[in-house]
Amino acid sequence: MSEAMNRGTSRRAFLQGTGLAAATAVVAGITPRMYAGENNTIQIALVGCGGRGSGAAENALNVKRGPVKLVAMADVFQGRLDNSIKGLKERHGAKVEVPKSRQFVGFDAYKKAMDCLRPGDIAIFGTPPAFRWVHFTYAIQKNLNVFMEKPITVDGPTSRRMFKLADEASAKNLKVGVGLMSRHHRPLQELAKRIQDGEIGEVILQRGYRMHGPIGFFFSLPRPKETSELLYQVQRFHSFIWASGGNYSDFYIHIIDHLGWLKGSWPVKAQALGGRHYRQSPEGITYVDQNLDTYAVEYTYADGTKFNFDGRCINGCQNYYASYIHGSKGIAVGSADGDFGGRRPSTIHKGQNPTSETVLWRSRVSPDEQDPYQNEWNDLMTAIRDDKPYNEVKRGVEASLVTSMGRMAAHTGQEISFDQMLNCEHEMAPGLDQLTADSPAPLQAGPDGRYPVPQPGIIKNREY
């Protein structure tokens, strides 16, 4: 690494509140030092250079408060790294300072990229969620602040692990953001307050929908012979439950998260159904992924309130992508379109029919706070520079668990409680911290090239 990347702690924000900072430094084996006059640039390493990781880096570089620089990048695919750095460099110029010596490819690349940072810098995790605990463990060891994309767990064992890591990060005064950007959408923040203040009365029902055609790596054809099994599954992570929680966890978590937030609690159990329908390509080749095409999940809160969620990935059907909160005094529209509503407002209505004639309140937001993806980065950076407590991991794990709970209910045909999901012993991909390019894939295809799929009513204590 260059000598510029090996400087000691220089982040005033990281070491504000000298008592806590000194204690943290002693525990971590770091000698606290003063850096009067040294620049206050926050350096960033991007681990996982796909679309969402690159988008997070874009938002980080757009933060206006204080200098920021991207200094290292890591991925398991060279082409993905090359495309990411090209686009970021074109848009951000000198803010992207990632020479070849700080571009890393491979399953150990995450360590090399984070080794380029100083304590108090930021690591971005845009990899498939199965790797989240592995990368977070190393970031905590390196005393780095973190931004991680959602979901952050897909099973019980890694959820329990991430809860412990969240506590370790807080004990070190590290700041951690989680990419559930709906929580940073100003209209939803105001709606949450209004619901909690009783404007729609008692919440009696919630509804969430995400129904559209296949996107991302929802479908997968049989693996090409020239491609390794492991790299095929990592690249097409939406197709594999171990890597991403499948389309249910990756696509649906935002609406599940923000409805739980608006209710002010998490569902305690779920029952569900789902189905596989059109499983052939236009050329007649059978898709081999693990996803179901449709889901219908009934979540139940501790007070008995129901939250119904419908998901569908089928072409040619009506698209529907929204969330609703029914109360004893009226109805609220959380998202009129999409994960958080985009530029369409959140609204509260008289009665139970959300029309323009029944509107009682319509959200408004200032132009510079319309993008929740940018808001979450502005909020994280403010916490870092002002040394304010900031750790979104616990609620990120809870949102991931509630999502997984609904998924497992559909995949097993059983009612699944939050505690059952948390304490389920099936770790889908153990040993990912020891993974190399020569390791076997966590999932193996059968002789016909197809992967195991959920069998509700037959396999009841795990998902496949």
**Nearest 10 degrees: CA dihedral of 78, 79, 81, 82?**
110
Position 278 scores a pLDDT of 85
Q: How is residue 20 written in tokens?
A: 């806590």
Residues 6 or more apart whose CB falls under 8 angstroms from that of 464 comprise 241, 290, 411, 452, 453, 454, 455
Position 39 scores a pLDDT of 75
Position 34 scores a pLDDT of 26
**How far apart are the C-alpha atoms of 401 and 257, rounded to whole Å?**
10
Q: At residue 143, what are phi and psi to the nearest 5 degrees?
A: 60, 50
Position 346 scores a pLDDT of 98
Provide the H-helix boundaries in 392-433.
393-412, 418-423
Q: How is residue 454 written in tokens?
A: 């959920």
pTM, to two decimals: 0.91
Point out which residues pair with 210 in neighbouring strands: 311, 321
Rg of the chain taking only CA atoms, in angstroms: 22
**How far apart are the C-alpha atoms of 334 and 347, rounded to whole Å?**
7
Answer left, alpha or beta for residue 360, where phi above 0 means left and psi between -120 and 50 means alpha: alpha
pLDDT by residue for the chain (464 residues), tens only, comes to 333 333 333 333 333 333 333 333 333 333 322 222 357 999 999 999 999 999 999 999 999 999 999 999 999 999 999 999 999 999 999 999 999 999 999 999 999 999 999 999 999 999 999 999 999 999 999 999 999 999 999 999 999 999 999 999 999 999 999 999 999 999 999 999 999 999 999 999 999 999 999 999 999 999 999 999 999 999 999 999 999 999 999 999 999 999 999 999 999 999 999 999 989 998 999 999 999 999 999 999 999 999 999 999 999 999 999 999 999 999 999 999 999 999 899 999 999 999 999 999 999 999 889 999 999 999 999 999 999 999 999 999 999 999 999 999 999 999 999 999 999 999 999 999 999 999 999 999 999 899 999 999 999 999 99
- Does domain 185-368+400-434 fall under CATH 3.30.360.10? My reply is yes
CATH superfamily of 3-182+375-391: NAD(P)-binding Rossmann-like Domain (3.40.50.720)
Point out which residues pair with 43 in neighbouring strands: 69
User: Do 185-368+400-434 and 3-182+375-391 have the same topology in CATH?
Assistant: no
Domain ranges of the chain: 3-182+375-391, 185-368+400-434
Position 31 scores a pLDDT of 30
**How far apart are the C-alpha atoms of 221 and 291, rounded to whole Å?**
12
For the beta carbon of residue 157, count every other beta carbon within 10 angstroms. 18
**How far apart are the C-alpha atoms of 68 and 86, rounded to whole Å?**
18
Position 81 scores a pLDDT of 98
**How far apart are the C-alpha atoms of 20 and 24, rounded to whole Å?**
6
Position 363 scores a pLDDT of 97
If you write DSSP's letter for every residue of 208-271 in order, what string do you get? EEEEES--TTSS-PPPPTTS-HHHHHHHTGGG-HHHH-HHHHHHHHHHHHHHHHHHTS---EEE
**How far apart are the C-alpha atoms of 286 and 13, rounded to whole Å?**
54
Position 25 scores a pLDDT of 39
Position 221 scores a pLDDT of 95
